Structure 1
Amino acid sequence: MKIVIFYSTLIEDTKESAEILKNLINAEVVLIPIERAKDECILKYNFIVLGASAYNGRVQNSFKIFISRNIKTLLGKPHALYVNGDENLDILYNLNKAFTPELIESSFACGNFGYNINTDRGNFLERRKSKKLIEKSGEIPSLNKEEIENYANRINDIIEKRVG
Structure 2
Amino acid sequence: MLMSEWGVHWQAFGVTVSLFLAIIGGWKFLHDINQIRKHQDDQEALRRTEFFLAQHRRLFDDEDLFSVLKNLDGDYPALADEPFWDKNRKFLTFIEEIELLIRSGKLQSDAACYMFGYYALCARDGKNFNIGIDTAREHWAIFQDFCERHEKFRQAHPQGPGKALML
Mark yes or no: TM-score above 0.5: no
Higher helix share: 2
Higher strand share: 1
**Structure of higher CA gyration radius:** 2
